Amino acid sequence: MRFDTLLVHEGQSSQPVTGDVVPPIHVATTFDRSPQDPVTRFYGRGENPTREALESCLAALEDAPFALTFSSGQAAAVAVLSLVPPGSKLVSSDDVYGGTYELFQTLGRFGIEVDYVDLADPERRDAAITPDVAMVWVETPTNPLLRIADIAAISARASDVGALVVVDNTFATPVSQQPLALGAQVSLYSTTKFIAGHSDVLGGALVYRDSALHERLLAHRSVTGAVPGALDCYLTHRGLKTLSLRFARQCANAASVAASLGESPFVGAVHYPGHSDHPQHDVAVRQMSSHGAMVSFAYLGDPETLLGGTRLFGAAVSLGAVRSLLALPASMSHRAIPRDDLLRRGVTDNLVRLSLGIEHPADLIDDLSAAMRAGMRGHAREGADRP
């Protein structure tokens, strides 16, 4: 079956007794083990049929035998970080999700050193991946600057030194980017974002091919207990069925909005991998089947006025949902990162990040233009009032 068919069918077989075309939500926390029932499940922390249906679909989307879901993207990250031996080194994209950075801050007490590197730069990337590195953590496109790292090149280099490659594929989704096919060992998702897609359920997932890895990750999840509930799995799986359709519209909207931002007098640099002048546009074209649904840009007016001035764009963190969202990374999603670090990486106070939803693109452009114009007036007045 092809990708779009798998989205709808995998893990969704009709029920033998009742004929339901949608599998029921299994809420049982424990399973009958009387001798006449050949039961393979024991306890809900370890096994749950609703969770397994979602996992079989997520695995199939990357042609992988294994997927494990978690109560959040962060819980999935903690599980995969349990593979890094104490005292070793982790190389990470420098422009990384704020929560990932905060999580990495806690690794010091295990003696794990984190080296933040611009993995989009081939020279720095190759110099950083040395034999003492146990794991390379790749976020591509990065958040919020949408730089692109070459997953195949990183994976080749990492395999030379025996390091595992984990790709946070939350922004690209399996529709657009297949990290395992490019040589990475683990794809990580915050399913909270595009996979579930409606801003109404938290979740995380790991997708991978290695059975020894599966034993370790499954054991970690069972003992630490960060499993998603059955209703959450159901909602995530329900959202997943429309991922291709939603993402195609979201990407088209991102292209339209990025084009209009490029022509706006209120806008400085626009960060969008689909523009031919994006520094890693060629890598994006090679490893992604679309340019994604995220755009960021430097706004020349007052960012706070812009944040409060849109009607359609929600002023909120998070991304990937049917409703468009607008955020200021420096004061919202990335506020835990020291200001100097942010500025050094180009995350300025006026950097605006958009997550495009599925609304009509002309309405989104009108809404954004009106809010930007209002923010410019405020800004000009403020400037004029100053002595």
Ligand X SMILES: *Cc1c(COP(=O)(O)O)cnc(C)c1O
Catalogue the active-site residues. 45, 97, 168, 193
Cα three-residue angle 130-134-138, rounded to 5 degrees: 85
**Residues, the chain, total?**
387
C-beta separation of 252 from 214 below 8 A: no
* DSSP letter assigned to residue 358: S
* DSSP letter assigned to residue 236: H
Which of 150, 168, 232, 302 touches ligand X by CB under 6 A? 168
How many Å apart are CA 29 and CA 265, to the nearest integer?
A: 58
Looking at the Cβ atoms of 67 and 376, the one nearer to ligand X is 67
Which of 97, 116, 266, 299 touches ligand X by CB under 6 A? 97
How many Å apart are CA 206 and CA 227, to the nearest integer?
A: 12
Residues 13-32 that bind ligand X (CB under 6 A): none
CB of 100 to ligand X, least distance (A): 6
- Please report, for residues 98, 219, 266, the alpha-carbon distance to residue 201 in angstroms, rounded to integers and kept in the order given: 20, 25, 35
CB of 260 to ligand X, least distance (A): 25
Four-CA torsion 58, 334, 269, 302, nearest 10 degrees: 130
Looking at the Cβ atoms of 143 and 177, the one nearer to ligand X is 143
How many Å apart are CA 344 and CA 268, to the nearest integer?
A: 18
Cα 214 → chain centroid: 21
Using the contact rule CB under 6 A, the part of the chain among 34-42, 49-57, 92-100, 356-364 near ligand X is 92-100
Which of 48, 72, 178, 185 touches ligand X by CB under 6 A? 72
Nearest to 202 by CA among 87, 61, 321: 321
228 binds ligand X (CB under 6 A): no
Total residues at interface with ligand X (CB under 6 A): 16
Using the contact rule CB under 6 A, the part of the chain among 71-79, 104-112, 245-253, 280-288 near ligand X is 71-79
Cα three-residue angle 109-110-116, rounded to 5 degrees: 85
Number of C-alpha atoms within 13 angstroms, CB side, residue 127?
8
Looking at the Cβ atoms of 128 and 172, the one nearer to ligand X is 172
Looking at the Cβ atoms of 201 and 267, the one nearer to ligand X is 201
Which of 11, 99, 239, 357 touches ligand X by CB under 6 A? 99
CB of 295 to ligand X, least distance (A): 15
Which of 6, 54, 62, 73 touches ligand X by CB under 6 A? 73
Looking at the Cβ atoms of 73 and 309, the one nearer to ligand X is 73
Looking at the Cβ atoms of 327 and 376, the one nearer to ligand X is 327
How many Å apart are CA 214 and CA 233, to the nearest integer?
A: 20
* 3 state DSSP class of 43: strand
Which of 187, 192, 290, 296 touches ligand X by CB under 6 A? 192
Binding mask 102-141 for ligand X (x = CB under 6 A): -------------------------------------x--
Q: Nearest residue by C-beta to ligand X?
A: 73
CB of 239 to ligand X, least distance (A): 13
Write b or e for each residue in 202-220: b if 16 or more Cβ atoms lie within 10 A of its Cβ, otherwise e. Answer: bbbbbbbbeeebbeebeeb
CB of 32 to ligand X, least distance (A): 33
Which of 204, 228, 239, 292 touches ligand X by CB under 6 A? 204
Looking at the Cβ atoms of 101 and 266, the one nearer to ligand X is 101
C-beta separation of 52 from 40 below 8 A: no
- Contact footprint for ligand X (CB under 6 A): 72-74, 97, 99-100, 139, 143, 168, 170-171, 190, 192-193, 202, 204
